[in-house]
Amino acid sequence: MSDRDDITVGQLLLAEYQTVKDEQKARIGFRDNLLYVTLGVVAAVIAATAQAKQPSMLLALPPVGVVLGWTYLVNDEKISAIGYYVRDDLGPRLAELAAHGGFATFGWEAYHRSDTRRRSRKAIQTVVDLTAFCAIPLAALVVFWASGDAGGLLVVLSVLEALAVAGLGVQVVMYTRSARTHR
């Protein structure tokens, strides 16, 4: 094999960049669709509950909110982690190869984070996440509890669901706070 056919470290780093950006792109699409799926499930459960006049059917919303919310949160964390990796590890290594550290790589990875409205967008997104995955399931539990026609086992189940939803809410807020340190 000649020197021209050798793969360089720079080429490997660029291939890695493309691979992680492809993963990030796929995760973004999946994560964003989880909100639509959640809204669809909420609408379907509410419609079925109203039609059947069975408030106990609302107990389906908290597990759905927790599972979809957790999946959303995990994907969001991986999306951010890929950005951190590109910005803080991969980019500097490639810059070092390109110009011995004097060259900035992947400028968009840092530039888009400097938007003055970024903080307010992140805060609004946190409210949206908490509403979709926590507030709606908790509201469903309140309606279930207010209906007054639940057996003891369903009440115990509903309390466990409330605890799970509250736990997810705590995780959403904790993740939002920890993400601030990686800016």
Encode pLDDT of 54-100 as tens digits.
999 999 999 999 999 999 999 999 999 999 999 889 988 888 887 65
| Percent of all residues in the chain with a pLDDT value above 70, rounded to a whole number | 90
Nearest to 35 by CA among 124, 171, 130: 130
Domain segments of the chain: what residues? 3-180
Give the whole-angstrom CA distance, residue 58 versus residue 45.
7
Single-letter code of the amino acid located at 67: V
pLDDT tens per residue across span 7-36: 788 889 899 999 999 999 999 999 999 999
pLDDT at 100: 59
Helix intervals (H) in 53-151: 61-85, 91-99, 107-111, 118-130, 136-147
